[in-house]
Structures are given as structure tokens and as C-alpha cells.
A and B are shown apart, each in its own frame.
Chain A
């Protein structure tokens, strides 16, 4: 499987082990609201990528004074003063790659699959589409040329009751554009790249080992409809019954909670952020166009002057001056990359999809609640 050409999309499905799920949740909720990044190890079996273990990346902390050898060195090409950006850039930092190699080496000794198959990141309410994410995934997909995947765990939405984990890869057309690293208007026109094409989402399944399954069967679930259960003698006894009080597999009814406003507020906040980012990009593009127009105007006048001078010199029987010196005299401005604009588009699409999904669920709940509180109305 090592020589699969990168042009195909060899991974069609992702299978996680329960261990990875728990570790992801743990790490993400621990360092919230910072994004948590880490590495995934596993194996690829045909078109299915099996992920069996994971470990977090150490985030180099510029304020760290304990003599940590990981402390940021300004000479390091990935030195970033902002800690948030640092955490996001961790998967592709040199120190993290070394860390990852060492971890994998040690894990191999205890029979854990020793193949890096991707990385994970945690986000809040779907705000993961940014340049850092794309660069990380490009780094992984480019470096090994193998099947690697990015897992995104949404802390904000999972805390509302429904577990939210998605797997993404970069599309081959986007990878090709990344290779040239040019995102100017001409290259985009040629490749016809739209923001919807950047990411491919893959279906995720969870897989348990036998041992784990037997352990899960052992955990108490909601008590069966067994009429031999003794009736409780007092209210207190009901409250103190350990089966009922702390039952890990009791049906999790958090997602029946009807909380609309916080979700809407957060989403709207993030939409505003995206709009600001888009504005910035627009301003940059317009600035470029204006300076380009200015330079071109200057070039035009210069060329005109040259022509007149040459006409004069021809009259005076002198050699005409070269007309293409303007290329050396005037420097055209460089067009800014359009990647950020496309990412903003993709991010807004992500928010829109989330809101639609949320709307569907919440409308169902609302109608249910209304039907209950207004008796006599046909639901």
C-alpha cells in the first residue's frame, strides 16, 4: 500500500476504536478552549482506514520557563508568538514530528500499530476551516503520500448531547493546487477550483474489540422490566440507589434539552468573524488591483513618452531608445493569494450546514413541547 499514487482517493471509510474516541474526548475537554491536537496511529486495510490509538502533541509554550527543550526558538521556522496559532500548528512543527516518531517507536514495542494515519484537532461549533488546518492536512497527505485523515471533534456540540466527530481529507484537485502553492485568479480559473471542493468528508464508524464488548455488557444499563425488583421503601432510598444515581449507560437525555439561544448566539458570532475575514480579503484584493492599475497607468505614460522621444530622435537621425525598458523600471505588485477567501467560503458553508441541521432537530423538539403544553391541539 505504500506506492498508492496520490491522485486517487484511496480512503473511503474510517473506522475508529473505542479507545481513540475516549482519548479524544478526554484531551479535547481538558485543554478547552484551546484547540487540542494530536496524532493518530493505526492501519489501512484496503479502502478502510482503521485508527487504533492516539496521543496528544506537546504544544510548545513560549511562556514556559521550566527549561523545556521544546520551548520555542525564534530561529525555528514555525515560531509563532500567538499560543493559539502555535497549538494549531503543532502537527506540522518539527519538534512534533520528532516527538511523534519517538512515540511510535515506543508504541511499536507494545504491539500498537506503528503507522501514523493522521491527526486530530478539536474545535468549537465547527470553526476548524482555516489555513492552519489545511496546511496540516496537506503536510500529512504530502509527506507520506499515504492515506491520512484529519479527525475533527466538535467540543461545543458534543456537550449538548450528540457526539460529533468528523473525518476529512483534502481533495486531489486541491492537493494539486497546493503543490504549486499558487492561488492567483488565473490558476483558479484554469483549475476551476471552488470552495466546496477543498475538503472531502469520510464516513466514520466505531469498532470495539471483544474484550471491550464483554466489559460493556457488564456495565449496568437501565434496569430491565423485572417485576421481582423490590419496591423502594422510601424516597431517599430511591435517590441513593447506586444503579440509578450514577449509571454510566443510562440513556443520555441531554439532547432533549431545549436550549436554542446559546447555539444561535455562538453561530452568529462566528459568522461575524467570517465576514470580517472576508472583508479583509476583499480589501487586500482591491488594494492589489488599485496598485496594479496605478502601475499600469504609469507604464503607459512612460511608454508614450518613450515613443515620442523615439519619434523625435528618428527625426534627428539618432538611434531610437529601447521601448521595453519599462520592465526593468517598474515593478508590478504581486497578487495576493486567494486561498484565504476560499477557506472563508468553506467555513461559512460549514456554519450554514450546522444551522440547518440544528434547525431540523430543534423544530421537532419545539413542536413536541408545544403539543404537550397546549393540550387539545392536534399535534
Chain B
């Protein structure tokens, strides 16, 4: 999909065409970056098209870099259209309306779509993206930019020639985890995949690493037995990787390990304690109302005391707001720690 090393960009060598008066100083986008969600959206729309239409047309939204050389497509939506034998008509009204709606939600995205008159993307040339979805073959995406073409100036404003540009599908960090989950469903019959817990994902990751290690060790033993060709590059790479293992003292490891495990256990215990405290205080508050007014104040003051002793095990020594009435009854029993500054 767009091998960008060996690409000849056809528009660049051309001098800016002196045809259009206002479009002459524009630099054409050199490359296009696609975000996976736009691609998925297009695929989804393609599978929902009415039975008699062969294709779907829509608008791309995205951002443009400062000098216009990089365009990134981040979103898209479909626009209904009708096809006749000679030309393809789009519902421009719908398109304008949807654009309006989308811009309200994401005001930074800019229109990037080709339309017959060239308006809407003025003064930058429009970007066109086609995705082929023929069943049985690969799904291929191609991007083009429009360039004015025409014999005379007026004709040039109306028609466009599309020049292919290299494109790239970028998967950013956050999408990777989602993508992995989605891809997990592709090997199953019903194409569904349940959400996995953390432990399951961890298990899968460890299995993958074990598999990779197995392959590498097989290769190395084969090379030692002279069954496989050796490769200095691979050897160097393996050396570099193995050198990353840290050299630490055994006591340091033990100590760090114990500290970390204790940290985790401590916070877990703390969270559960707080949960119990809050549960208890809520229950006391709602249950004690039957015992009358004074006892109510005492009991809720009591659990205030209990809760604050739970907090003392907490982290920051910031000032906690003291409870009101209950404290006055128990001012004598301040408890350990010098935190009870106020009486």
C-alpha cells in the first residue's frame, strides 16, 4: 500500500500552472496519511450501500499541515448520490448540512473533498481517496490530488485531473490495542470476540513472546549445528537485544521486588478499607435514624472517628476537615498522632 520509497510524484516536477489566477501559488500535498477509523468508516458504509449502487461517495475530513504538504485524513462521512449512465450526482445539500454538524463537534477539521466545481477546498487542491472493495480481492486504497486541467481558463475551473499521491495508513498508539482486539475476531467463524480481561491479555502476550523466543532459539541452534545459514546482521541484532538485560545485585533485586509488591498490596488493602468504611458509614447513617435524634448524632460522630482513624493510614498529611458535632463529644480522646491540632 503505497511504497513511499520508490515513488515518483508527478505533480511536483511541474511548475505551478499559470492557468488559474488564484490557484497558482499553491503547493500540492505531497503525501496523505490515513487514520484507520476513516478507513473503517468507509468500509462500513460500503457494506451498507443500497443493492443497486456500485459505490459509495463521501466527504473526507482532516487536517492539513502548515505548508500544505502533509494532509492527514481523520474522519469521513457518506453522502447519498445517484448514478446515471453519464454522470454521478451528489446531494450537495446533504453534504453541506453534514459538514455543518461535524464542524460543530470538531471545529478543527477541515474539508478535503473533491467536488465538481472545486469550491469548498479553495484555495487548496482537493484530495480524493478511493478504496476498492471487490469481493475476493484485496482491499486497496489509492489517493489522488486534483490538479486543474483544461484548454482554456474557464474550462480549467470546471474540470480536474487526478494525480496519484503516495499515502500511508498510520496506526497511532492508542488504536493499536483496540486494533489487536478487533483483529482477534478475524479468525473466528462468527467474527465476534468478547472483551478480554487484563489477565487474559497478559497471558496472550506472554504466549506470543514465548513463541518468538522459541523461534529464535531454534534458529540459533540450527546455525550452531550448521543446518542454517548464519547472518551477521541477525547475530548483531540478537547481541544488542540481549545486552539490554540489566546487571543488578541479587540483594538489590530482592529488595526492590519486596518493596514493589508491598506497595501494591498496601494500596489494595487501603482501597478495600476505605470502601468498607464508606459502606459502614452510609449504613449507619441510614439505619440509625430510628433511634432518635441524640443517639443519631452520637453514632454518626462515632463513625466519623472510626473513619478518620482509617484515614490516618493514608498518604498526605494535609488538613482534613474535622467533623462537627461528634468531635465535640470526643474531644478528650484525640488518639495517636499530632494531627488533631484543633479541639
Give the chain B neighbours of A293 by CB distance below 8 A.
293-294, 297
- A25 sits at the interface (CB 8 A): yes
Give the Cβ gap from A362 to chain B, nearest Cβ, in Å.
6
Using CB atoms, name the residue of chain B closest to A342: B282
The interface bits of chain A over 222-248 (1 if a CB of B lies within 8 angstroms of the residue's CB, else 0) are 100101000111110110001000001
What separation, in Å, do the CA atoms of A256 and B202 have in the docked complex?
7
What separation, in Å, do the CA atoms of A206 and B101 have in the docked complex?
28
Known A205-B193, A261-B263, A264-B264: A216·B186 in contact at CB below 8 Å? yes
Contacts of A248-291 to chain B: CB distance below 8 A: 248-249, 251-256, 260-261, 264, 267-268, 271-272, 274-275, 278-279, 282-283, 285-287, 289-290
Main secondary structure of the interface of A (DSSP, over half): helix
The interface bits of chain B over 205-239 (1 if a CB of A lies within 8 angstroms of the residue's CB, else 0) are 11011001001000000000000110101101100
- A326 sits at the interface (CB 8 A): no
- The total of chain B residues at the interface (CB under 8 A) is 120
- A212 sits at the interface (CB 8 A): yes
Q: Is the CB of A189 within 8 A of B264?
A: no
Contacts of A355-373 to chain B: CB distance below 8 A: 355-366, 368-370, 373
Give the Cβ gap from B312 to chain A, nearest Cβ, in Å.
12
Q: Is the CB of B198 within 8 A of A162?
A: yes
Q: Is the CB of A112 within 8 A of B181?
A: no
Most buried by B among A110, A364, A373: A110
Q: Is the CB of A209 within 8 A of B44?
A: yes
Give the Cβ gap from B64 to chain A, nearest Cβ, in Å.
17
- B272 sits at the interface (CB 8 A): yes
Other-chain contact of B286, A188, A219, A252 (Cβ < 8 Å): A188
Give the chain A neighbours of B281 by CB distance below 8 A.
278, 282
- A177 sits at the interface (CB 8 A): no
Give the chain B neighbours of A188 by CB distance below 8 A.
286
Q: Is the CB of B248 within 8 A of A286?
A: no
The interface bits of chain B over 308-324 (1 if a CB of A lies within 8 angstroms of the residue's CB, else 0) are 00010011100011011
Give the chain A neighbours of B234 by CB distance below 8 A.
231-232, 238
- A296 sits at the interface (CB 8 A): yes
Known A206-B195, A275-B274, A289-B300: A25·B180 in contact at CB below 8 Å? no
Using CB atoms, name the residue of chain A closest to B58: A110
- B119 sits at the interface (CB 8 A): no
Using CB atoms, name the residue of chain B closest to A95: B104
Contacts of B95-123 to chain A: CB distance below 8 A: 97-98, 101, 104-107
Other-chain contact of A279, B190, B320, B325 (Cβ < 8 Å): B320
What separation, in Å, do the CA atoms of A287 and B323 have in the docked complex?
10
Give the chain A neighbours of B237 by CB distance below 8 A.
235, 238
- A43 sits at the interface (CB 8 A): no
What separation, in Å, do the CA atoms of A341 and B205 have in the docked complex?
40
- Which of B12-20, B22-30, B142-150, B167-175 is the contact stretch? B167-175
Q: Is the CB of B181 within 8 A of A21?
A: yes
Other-chain contact of A260, B47, B212, B264, B304 (Cβ < 8 Å): B264
- B267 sits at the interface (CB 8 A): yes
Other-chain contact of A358, B194, B198, B208 (Cβ < 8 Å): B198
Q: Is the CB of A252 within 8 A of B205?
A: yes
Other-chain contact of A185, B212, B274, B285 (Cβ < 8 Å): B285
Known A211-B139, A249-B179, A272-B316: A206·B193 in contact at CB below 8 Å? yes
Give the Cβ gap from A249 to chain B, nearest Cβ, in Å.
5
Supplied contacts A211-B133, A235-B233, A352-B272, 15 more A-B pairs, CB within 8 Å: A19-B37, A162-B196, A165-B195, A189-B286, A206-B192, A211-B46, A221-B183, A232-B234, A238-B237, A252-B177, A268-B270, A286-B326, A289-B297, A341-B278, A364-B199
> Interface of B with A (CB < 8 Å)?
3, 35-37, 39-41, 43-50, 56, 74-75, 77-80, 94, 97-98, 101, 104-107, 133, 135, 138-139, 169, 171-183, 185-186, 190-199, 201-202, 205-206, 208-209, 212, 215, 228-229, 231, 233-234, 236-237, 245-246, 248, 250, 253-254, 257, 260-261, 263-265, 267-268, 270-272, 274-275, 278-279, 281-282, 285-287, 289, 293-294, 296-297, 300-301, 304, 307, 311, 314-316, 320-321, 323-326
> What are the 5 closest A-B residue pairs judged by CB atoms, nearest first?
A22-B37, A231-B231, A352-B271, A58-B104, A251-B208
